[in-house]
C-alpha cells in the first residue's frame, strides 16, 4: 500500500510541477509576446501550487527533506530520541486530526453552499479538497514514522544533516584547491 502511495505521490507532484511550469510559461509568452493571456491562469496556478505544496509536505516526511531542528534531540541517547520523536509524532497527529476535521467541515459547507471558483467553472470544494487529501497523506506518513520508532526501526524523523553536508562540501572544495 505504501509503495502505491509513494508512486502516486511522485507522479502527481511531477505532473503538478510540469503543469504549473507550462501554464506559467505559456501565459508569460501570451502576455508579453502577444498582449493577451488567460484570465483563469493565475487562479489555476495558485491551486496547482497549493496541491503541489500539500502533496510535497507528505512526501517530504518520507524522504527527509524537511528542515529538522534536531540539535537538542541529538544530545539524548537512543531511547530519549525515540521518546521525543514519539511525542512529536503524537502532537503532529493531533494537529493533523484537527486540520482534517476542520477541512472536512469546510469542504462540506462549501459543497452545501455551492460556491464556484472565481475564474474557473469548478466547484470550490473540489479545488480545495487537497486540504483533506494532503493532511490525510501527511497523517499516514507520520503514523509510519511513529510505528517505526515504536518498533525500533528508527530513532527519529528521517532528515538531512545539513551541517554535516556543509562541512563535507567545504572539505571537498579545500581538497580541490590543493
pTM of the model: 0.83
How far is it, in rounded angstroms, from Cα 156 to Cα 70?
Answer: 9
Question: pLDDT tens-digit profile of 77-106?
Answer: 999 999 999 999 999 999 999 999 999 999
Query: In the prediction, which pLDDT does 167 show?
Result: 82
Question: pLDDT tens-digit profile of 109-131?
Answer: 999 999 999 999 999 999 999 99
Residue 151: enclosing H or E segment and its boundaries?
A: none
Asked whether the predicted pLDDT for residue 140 surpasses 70, the reply is: yes
Give the helix ranges, DSSP H, for 64-129: 78-113, 124-127
% residues pLDDT > 70 (the chain) = 96
Query: In the prediction, which pLDDT does 101 show?
Result: 98
Query: In the prediction, which pLDDT does 162 show?
Result: 67
Query: In the prediction, which pLDDT does 16 show?
Result: 96
Query: In the prediction, which pLDDT does 178 show?
Result: 59
Of 136, 138, 152, which Cα lies nearest the Cα of 86? 152
Of 65, 71, 77, 50, which Cα lies nearest the Cα of 158? 65
% residues pLDDT > 90 (the chain) = 69
Residue 55: is it exposed, middle or buried by C-beta count within 10 angstroms (0-12/13-18/19+)? buried
Mean pLDDT of the chain: 91
Asked whether the predicted pLDDT for residue 39 surpasses 70, the reply is: yes
**DSSP calls for 133-145:** HHHHHHHHHHHHH
**DSSP calls for 22-55:** HHHHHHHHHHHHHS---TTHHHHHHHHHHHHHHH
Amino acid at each position: 500500500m505504501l509503495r502505491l502511495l509513494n508512486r502516486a505521490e511522485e507522479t502527481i507532484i511531477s505532473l503538478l510541477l510540469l503543469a504549473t511550469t507550462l501554464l506559467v510559461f505559456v501565459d508569460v509568452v501570451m502576455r508579453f509576446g502577444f498582449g493577451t493571456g488567460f484570465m483563469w491562469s493565475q487562479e489555476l496556478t495558485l491551486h496547482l501550487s497549493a496541491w503541489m505544496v500539500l502533496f510535497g509536505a507528505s512526501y517530504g516526511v518520507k524522504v527527509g527533506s524537511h528542515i529538522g531542528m534536531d540539535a537538542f534531540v541529538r544530545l539524548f541517547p537512543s531511547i530519549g530520541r525515540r521518546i521525543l520523536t514519539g511525542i512529536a509524532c503524537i502532537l503532529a497527529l493531533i494537529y493533523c486530526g484537527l486540520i482534517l476535521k476542520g477541512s472536512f467541515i469546510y469542504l462540506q459547507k462549501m459543497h452545501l453552499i455551492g460556491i464556484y471558483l472565481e475564474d474557473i467553472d469548478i466547484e470550490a470544494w473540489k479545488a480545495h479538497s487537497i486540504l483533506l487529501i494532503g493532511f490525510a497523506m501527511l497523517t499516514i506518513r507520520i503514523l509510519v514514522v511513529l510505528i517505526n520508532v515504536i518498533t525500533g526501526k528508527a530513532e527519529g524523523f528521517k532528515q538531512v544533516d545539513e551541517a554535516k553536508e556543509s562541512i563535507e562540501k567545504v572539505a571537498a572544495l579545500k581538497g580541490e584547491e590543493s
